[in-house]
Structure 1
């Protein structure tokens, strides 16, 4: 950018000297004519350079983001495609297993089912955005622009909220098992499901209202265009506060109180459960925190709150958002593994379902994974029941 400014000033100087030379030549010619006719005249030249120094150089030196855009066109579609495929397979299997065994559904299964549906709603919008990145224009119309935005946000927030519900449910079962057992009913699960989905949709309403198709440089863009700074600030604070800070605090506080109780229990599963709890917190923190930090820094940069080289900082932040966004989105692929597939009971049901679908693959036999054999091998004690609630 500095070299461009130097060239621009040099061009301005050359043009100024040419114009000054032309005016001077004209004056010289006029003086010669006056001398020839014997006229005694005096002319004073006053030239104003203020217009040149009042130029906004930034407007004439656009930042070159071709490299970041080219990287995004390759990186984002590939990662979006992988997230879409793995997410649909993993979460789809969770939905199929839980729906097939819906007669044995409890509050934990309801939360797992809704978490999988939330992840599916979230990742089903990724093909639209992948196509948008590749062709650099939105070709699906204003309705799909708004629908994709609200589905994307609703899936994101509902997934986070159901993770919080599962954390609180585990906490109450472990710490207050005798008092809350009668409240963990199917009716309570349905009521919690309705509340979470309504809350998630309400939080996502600004995306539905302010996201629209706009014409930018002869290309159609699907973008969030709020009509005030308050809604722009909301778009930043909602994912950070409701989607990261509060859920992370709830998980850390609840699990820090659960772990000592589990350690003191007489069960062979406690070490496995502690590792699972730690993996839940660490995965959530590592996958989502970099993305939220990148969004905050980009917001500060766009609001001129950070003093630095505009082009260098803008390019780095755009690249950071591109990379961390995709990493954060892959978390929905891990949810089936973290919350479902590590549980022995769910693994048994999933293997039975896959055995029925693809019988030529050598899965464990149905007898080895039957409900009766599973019940015989389980330890019917309070501690094992509680740990089964966590690793279910």
Structure 2
């Protein structure tokens, strides 16, 4: 399961292609991903704490994206220099964060869709206690995702791999990292079980939930149900948000989860057709890059689907409390004293 049949593909050419592709894509998404998610955290945390439109989940989504972005410089260095000098531990951390980001993003995109759909269909059911419940859901989500992604690094062997210095090899003497780490021996039933579990829990069930929320939100535009919001503009904004979540799923995560089991079968030498095996091995890096694009697409989704984000980002507003204090500071002391006396008399009456 750890080796690909060398008679079926050019490993040196495939490795060069992968390193070039990853270095280019990660370099492109580094700056917008970093700036977009830092800005999103600033806007959500400072300006719109008072709103209840799934902001808690969007803030956690931005944190997940930021974790991946912060690991990109080390990945870019590796793919440009063809060696990993930072040690096994940091290699496994960066490798682990890639999958934590992906499945945490999926988890929080689902909850953004569910909460926006709920706020349209049953707005009166949301209260301050439900807001605290959202924080518990986020905490559980991080724990669930971090534990669920542990098999990805644990199945890799972080032993330094040395390459013979020859014209046939891309890497000279040095340590490999990420997907080039050799797999630990594992039985076929265990590997198949982990693969099915990752597909079902990490993609298929979340996708069904997001699409269901999109259908319910779209249906609310045509029908009026008891307790639902009657503002069609608000419903359209909610629908844009849910459809954006579904679009991120289909663009970023669907291609990767289609090629992931095929890539496993190819590397396990289960596929005997060399042409099919080579196509899978050359297509899978593209889908992995698409999965990484979500850290740059999510801030764009915030801007175009969240009214508060767009308004306060384009024209920052002074919080209400500061406005009142500023107005009071402009009142002469005599008038302010009279206003205070009047307030006391009214209170006594």
SS at match of 1:262: helix
Structure 2 counterparts to residues 95-114 of structure 1, below 5 A: 95-101=41-47, 103-104=49-50, 106=52, 108-114=54-60
Q: Of the candidates 153, 157, 161, which is equivalent to residue 99 of structure 2?
A: 153
Matched positions, count = 298
Task: Give per-residue Cα distances to partners, 1:134-163, cap 9 Å, x unaligned.
Answer: 333322101102211222222222111111
Q: Superposition RMSD on alpha carbons, in Å?
A: 2.9
SS at match of 2:145: helix
The residue that corresponds to 2:220 in the other structure is 261
Looking at structure 2, the residues matched to 329 and 256 of structure 1 have their Cα atoms a distance apart, in angstroms, of 27
Looking at structure 2, the residues matched to 157 and 59 of structure 1 have their Cα atoms a distance apart, in angstroms, of 31
Give the drift of 1:107.
Answer: 6.4
Looking at structure 2, the residues matched to 336 and 70 of structure 1 have their Cα atoms a distance apart, in angstroms, of 32
The residue that corresponds to 1:308 in the other structure is 273
Q: Of the candidates 260, 274, 290, which is equivalent to residue 295 of structure 1?
A: 260
The residue that corresponds to 2:10 in the other structure is 64
User: Structure 1 residue 220 and structure 2 residue 175: aligned?
Assistant: yes
SS at match of 1:324: helix
SS at match of 2:9: coil
Looking at structure 1, the residues matched to 86 and 268 of structure 2 have their Cα atoms a distance apart, in angstroms, of 31
The residue that corresponds to 1:206 in the other structure is 151
Give the drift of 1:342.
Answer: 2.6
Give the drift of 1:228.
Answer: 1.7
Q: Of the candidates 141, 150, 155, which is equivalent to residue 196 of structure 1?
A: 141
Looking at structure 2, the residues matched to 158 and 339 of structure 1 have their Cα atoms a distance apart, in angstroms, of 17
Looking at structure 2, the residues matched to 170 and 348 of structure 1 have their Cα atoms a distance apart, in angstroms, of 19
Give the drift of 1:130.
Answer: 2.4
Contact persistence 1:291–1:324 (CA under 8 A): yes
Give the drift of 1:117.
Answer: 0.2
Q: 1:261 to 1:60 in 2, by over 3 A?
A: closer
Q: 1:189 to 1:283 in 2, by over 3 A?
A: closer
Give the drift of 1:371.
Answer: 7.4
Q: 1:228 to 1:158 in 2, by over 3 A?
A: same
Structure 2 counterparts to residues 67-216 of structure 1, below 5 A: 67-101=13-47, 103-104=49-50, 106=52, 108-181=54-127, 183-185=129-131, 187-216=132-161
Q: 1:244 to 1:224 in 2, by over 3 A?
A: farther
Contact persistence 1:160–1:243 (CA under 8 A): yes
Give the drift of 1:110.
Answer: 1.1
Q: 1:134 to 1:231 in 2, by over 3 A?
A: farther
Looking at structure 1, the residues matched to 13 and 273 of structure 2 have their Cα atoms a distance apart, in angstroms, of 20
Looking at structure 2, the residues matched to 207 and 257 of structure 1 have their Cα atoms a distance apart, in angstroms, of 35
Structure 2 counterparts to residues 241-252 of structure 1, below 5 A: 241-252=200-211
Task: Give per-residue Cα distances to partners, 1:52-96, cap 9 Å, x unaligned.
Answer: xxxxxx988573233333322322111111112111111110011
Looking at structure 1, the residues matched to 99 and 262 of structure 2 have their Cα atoms a distance apart, in angstroms, of 21
The residue that corresponds to 1:281 in the other structure is 246
Give the drift of 1:325.
Answer: 1.2
TM-score (norm 2): 0.75
The residue that corresponds to 1:389 in the other structure is none
Q: Which moved more, 1:250-259 or 1:239-248?
A: 239-248
